[in-house]
Amino acid sequence: MRKAIGVDLGGSHVMAAVITEEGEILDRASEDITDHAVDKVVQAVENTIDQALSAAKGKSVAGIGIGSPGNIEPRSGTILYSPNFQWTGVPLGERLRAHFDQPVFVGNDARCATLGEYTYGTGKGTKNFALLTIGTGIGGGIVSEGHLVLGNAAGAGEIGHHQIRPTDGFICNCGKIGCFEAQASGTALIRHAFAVAPSFPRSTLLDKTRDKLGSKAIRKAAQAGDGHAVAAWKRFADDLATGLANIIAFVNPELIALGGGVSSAGDFMLEAVRGRVDELTTMVPRGTTRIAIATLGNDAGAIGAATMAFRGGLTTQASTSK
């Protein structure tokens, strides 16, 4: 059976896994990243891939796929810019090709996760699909008619940075106001809790210091019926629904899968958005896009990166038809 190495490269951690063509993870190796200097990160990536390759015992490894944050030139695997690493023009693909015999492919991490979830997770069997990974930010990707959409400069799918509250929203890491990510990520839920706090002067919800305050605590308090948390959750869910309805208006996918840490809210989250999404779905026939929780969890990125290696790129069709 063919195997590939799928690598999930993040700002603080890199994980390389040996993955089969059925999307099964056989082995994994990981390293923390503490220094964003290019050489240090490349070294950590090489180390984990080396470990994964030795776990695979060198047998029939079809290729190496790396999912990395940033805007990435798909052919060369050059990272044009990555705010997470503060990199511009880093030839990651070329560096790794000099070190490994196997073909190397580099793609954006969220697009890799979309390809993974589409091929092996919740999206399996659909042709029109979107993934949103909702964590500290919002990443995503779109599959249209069986093709992952990359756009003219591999920039398509930056769903987190379409503005839904450009006049009264929170400021986004990208500099714009009211981006979907600024309004409907885990970080956004905390910001909504601060924003509604003046209406709840006796609330203890925000008593924890800011660095200890997580979105999960606010969501759980909302589930338990805490008034302050419920008010924050409602704003969060309304903004999430706005973004989801926009995605439906643009691409009317069969399914939108919600992944990332915040999606652990499960049905509580789905129930909070479905009604509002229907209200905001006007010209597209209602009920023609399902919304569900993604199933591959944190492994979606590595599995998608391996899928990219099996396929010989992010956008090519699978060699075996589904």
Please state whether 57 falls in left (phi above 0), alpha (psi between -120 and 50) or beta: left
Q: Which residues of 84-104 are buried (b: 16+ CB within 10 A; e: fewer)?
A: bbebeebbbbebbbeebebeb
DSSP SS3 for 20: strand
Torsion sign over Cα 237, 199, 217, 299: positive
Chosen residue from 90, 112, 172, 189 binding Zn ion by CB under 5 A: 172
Nearer to Zn ion by Cβ, of 6 and 137: the residue is: 137
Which positions from 140 to 169 touch Zn ion by CB under 5 A, shown as an x/- string?
Answer: ---------------------x--------
Shortest distance (Å) from residue 161 CB to Zn ion: 4
Could you write out the DSSP letters of every residue in 220-260?
HHHHTT-HHHHHHHHHHHHHHHHHHHHHHHHH--SEEEEES
Shortest distance (Å) from residue 158 CB to Zn ion: 8
Q: Decide if 30 contacts 48 (C-beta within 8 A).
A: yes
Q: Which stretch binds Zn ion (CB under 5 A): 84-92, 105-113, 173-181, 236-244?
A: 173-181
Q: Quickly tell me which residue has 């391996």 as its tokens.
A: 306
Q: Quickly tell me which residue has 């940033």 as its tokens.
A: 70
Nearer to Zn ion by Cβ, of 163 and 295: the residue is: 163
Nearer to Zn ion by Cβ, of 195 and 293: the residue is: 195
Shortest distance (Å) from residue 109 CB to Zn ion: 17
Does 174 sit near Zn ion (CB under 5 A)? yes
Does 110 sit near Zn ion (CB under 5 A)? no
Count of beta carbons in the 10 Å neighbourhood of residue 111: 31
Nearer to Zn ion by Cβ, of 182 and 300: the residue is: 182
Nearer to Zn ion by Cβ, of 137 and 259: the residue is: 137
Shortest distance (Å) from residue 156 CB to Zn ion: 15
Binding residues vs Zn ion (CB under 5 A): 161, 172, 174, 176, 179
